[in-house]
Structure 1
């Protein structure tokens, strides 16, 4: 026993100095060369600065201040409780857009998922995305498929302007375009035409977008809490619609339906489980939010520029009247007519360059990788933003000037104009939005002359651009 005690003492005496020597002289592994920047406050990081710049109507200030201070390529921050690398410029956009599933994957903040998704699907969202469902969605939204819906879109636009615009001398554009784009989405995506049913969906949807960028504190009365509660209502109502539609399909009552919901339930891989119903709901909710928020915002901003810039309005009017004169009385628009609206689309693109409907999107690093000499660790979140290219004189000379000719010919350099993102995860609804915007422009400018009631009405971001007074417009009927 004494032998073992002496042996233990000997080893301890020998081990401690050796261990101390190892700690002193060991070669420290160099820390990764992280992007320059700062994380800000504990937990909330720089989220308040990010949201504050948007609420003041200058979201690019948050980005520009940090690119000028840290790096023109990529900088570090902390948003929504996450370590974040913000990629800048065309090179940063190209790297992220082309790095999908190689360096990065799609990522939604937990706060956004809590608002939109069923809790049962949150963990597998994006990780177990039904590939056939996504490919079917892309098939539905491609130009060839959407051509068949142009007459419906045109007819609904005419009815909307006749009922909600024509009776008045002044209108608030923003709430009206929200109603219009949402009703159109309900019709095309779910074959819901009853205004009362549409309103039942639209009312809670109004409380969702403000909760996306708010502090995620789920306390009654906060924007986040209102969004979470609204999300519960939307999901339940949509689940009721899905189950009713499944029953109609099983009874042969919706055999020829062409809306997206019916086709998802009849032609995609429906395993009959509640989880599949929830996956369908997630897809439909994503499209409805885009229609309610970003598409309506785009149209509002376009109307703002049409009313602010008479010389631009005149060129759009001339192009659209040539199309209108080529139509028989009451004849609806078709695909060929849309293809003639070149200047109008250039004008719309310039509107979205100067006042983009969305600020960017998040991704998650799935491995350590290097960009511009800096290491982005696995698990970090990344963010690409329109604000490092859209008003950058390097890509758009005299960037504050409204100039639709920038989009003539080959248009802007690749990865500089990114209101719809890019790469494999480019917004699947881009062509749908293009049709909706052009059809609305055609009917609006051939019916009204526009004048802003508040010339310098401020626009803030919440998270999309919102006119503080709803964009008050004085209407002068042309007929």
Structure 2
């Protein structure tokens, strides 16, 4: 009898233990462990970076929104555990919680390539001109008005020397050359073609590896980006020191450019920015000019060559402006403000082929979104590709339709080529001027015809047309 009782007691205890274990796991699953966003991490170290690169960001994002969640999903990119926020609500959440739940974060590849740890790691401290609001001030419309005649003059000169002698040109490499030369002129008063070409060569190495997997082996994009970054940094520091010497000696200098203003500006304590801070900001602007702005103008011209009815409407608007000015006068702010339809065309090009893919943040505390927990230390990513071609926000999304931007335009947080919130791109207005001035000069002189139909687009840090967007030029009869 004792043996039977012991056996029954053992079964009861075993059953109770199993029940407690089950309840423990259930409690932990429901209450103890965070409910992470759905998704997968991919391979060790590389994660899903290779898949992202091969499929392209648009397909990568849409596939995972359909498979896991249209609100937020997890992945691993650039060696980091990452939550990708989707849709207008995801954009709004990230833009609205800057400094509250999130801080800025840059991939290791970008930090190493551009050699600016202070710019990255101390982004919440008042150590840069960006934080002091200086760049925001000098990139406001009031300050940029003075750039318009220079942009107009340089665009005309570029078309005279690089486009007019040829019946066909490749738009993308031409635009990279032009936008970088313009940035060197406006930001640092550098005009020597050899000097500009030397800087541009180094920037090519940098931008090709900005968002690469951080594997530092010879021949890898990351390795080349680091080498290019050292070249850029050394060159810029030399330029900054030389200019500071000129200013300290109070020489008669013609410089009223961005660099001189950075060297002369002080914070509330009367302190000047150091050379590293200045070079950080110059580098950020040059990267944007070389990569994103050139890409933006390229695809605007691509659509003008592809869609004759759109070109005709832009041509009509721009010729009305040109005729109202006479023959010798350069463009001004009032002319830019008249380019309503042209800017709608440019924005529709930015919607369909956005130069920038999105931006990263880092969670500074655990928080929940859409019922999922984002742990502290996880990286987040918002992306243009969850809204720009979403039929919920843009009906018939593949159609090129500038009228989408008439009236009040798209719903908030759906059209985000320049980001949003506190960290919206400070160069947005600069990019608008550059796009419109170049559009004006091109359509005033040429009708465009695509030489390669259905050109393939690949992605590095921004969309890259494999053939460079070759177009045939048809000069207008005078």
Q: Does TM-score exceed 0.5, indicating one fold?
A: yes
Which residue number in structure 1 is paired with residue 168 of structure 2? 170
Paired residues of 1:218 and 1:225 also in contact (CA < 8 A): yes
Which residue number in structure 2 is paired with residue 440 of structure 1? 438
Quote the Cα distance in structure 2 between the aligned partners of 1:123 and 1:319: 43
Quote the Cα distance in structure 2 between the aligned partners of 1:100 and 1:268: 26
| SS class of match (1:72) | coil
Decide which moves more: 256-265 or 290-299.
Answer: 256-265
Q: Which residue among 42, 45, 65 is the counterpart of 1:43?
A: 45
5+ long unaligned stretches in structure 2: 1-16
Which residue number in structure 2 is paired with residue 10 of structure 1? none
Quote the Cα distance in structure 1 between the aligned partners of 2:80 and 2:297: 33
Q: 1:325-357: CA deviations, max 9, x gaps? A: 001211000000000000000000000101110
| SS class of match (2:233) | helix
- Does residue 372 (structure 1) correspond to residue 380 (structure 2)? The answer is no
- Does residue 128 (structure 1) correspond to residue 125 (structure 2)? The answer is yes
Quote the Cα distance in structure 2 between the aligned partners of 1:126 and 1:348: 31
Residues 113, 39 of structure 1: alpha-carbon distance in 2 compared, 3 angstrom cutoff: same
Quote the Cα distance in structure 2 between the aligned partners of 1:244 and 1:137: 22
- Does residue 52 (structure 1) correspond to residue 72 (structure 2)? The answer is no
Quote the Cα distance in structure 2 between the aligned partners of 1:268 and 1:422: 28
| SS class of match (1:474) | strand
Q: 1:426-462: CA deviations, max 9, x gaps? A: 0000000000000000000010010111122212111
* Equivalent residues in 2 for 1:208-247, closer than 5 Å: 208-247=206-245
Calculate the aligned-residue CA RMSD, in Å.
1.9
Q: Which residue among 317, 337, 340 is the counterpart of 1:339?
A: 337
Quote the Cα distance in structure 2 between the aligned partners of 1:349 and 1:237: 35
* Number of residue pairs aligned between Structure 1 and Structure 2: 452
Which residue number in structure 2 is paired with residue 388 of structure 1? 386
Quote the Cα distance in structure 1 between the aligned partners of 2:213 and 2:295: 23
Quote the Cα distance in structure 2 between the aligned partners of 1:192 and 1:225: 28
| SS class of match (1:370) | strand
Residues 157, 385 of structure 1: alpha-carbon distance in 2 compared, 3 angstrom cutoff: same
Paired residues of 2:264 and 2:272 also in contact (CA < 8 A): no
Which residue number in structure 2 is paired with residue 285 of structure 1? 283
Quote the Cα distance in structure 2 between the aligned partners of 1:118 and 1:406: 39
Cα deviation, residue 125, structure 1:
3.9
Cα deviation, residue 181, structure 1:
0.3
Quote the Cα distance in structure 2 between the aligned partners of 1:42 and 1:31: 23
Quote the Cα distance in structure 1 between the aligned partners of 2:294 and 2:49: 26
Quote the Cα distance in structure 2 between the aligned partners of 1:463 and 1:246: 33
Quote the Cα distance in structure 2 between the aligned partners of 1:429 and 1:88: 24
TM-score, normalisation: structure 1: 0.91
Cα deviation, residue 313, structure 1:
0.2
* Equivalent residues in 2 for 1:62-461, closer than 5 Å: 62-118=60-116, 121=118, 124-130=121-127, 132-134=129-131, 135-253=133-251, 257-269=255-267, 271=271, 276-461=274-459
Residues 311, 123 of structure 1: alpha-carbon distance in 2 compared, 3 angstrom cutoff: closer
Quote the Cα distance in structure 2 between the aligned partners of 1:81 and 1:207: 21
The 4+ residue runs of structure 1 with deviation greater than 6 A are 23-27
| SS class of match (1:446) | helix
5+ long unaligned stretches in structure 1: 1-19
Which residue number in structure 1 is paired with residue 36 of structure 2? 34
Residues 123, 157 of structure 1: alpha-carbon distance in 2 compared, 3 angstrom cutoff: closer
Which residue number in structure 1 is paired with residue 462 of structure 2? 464
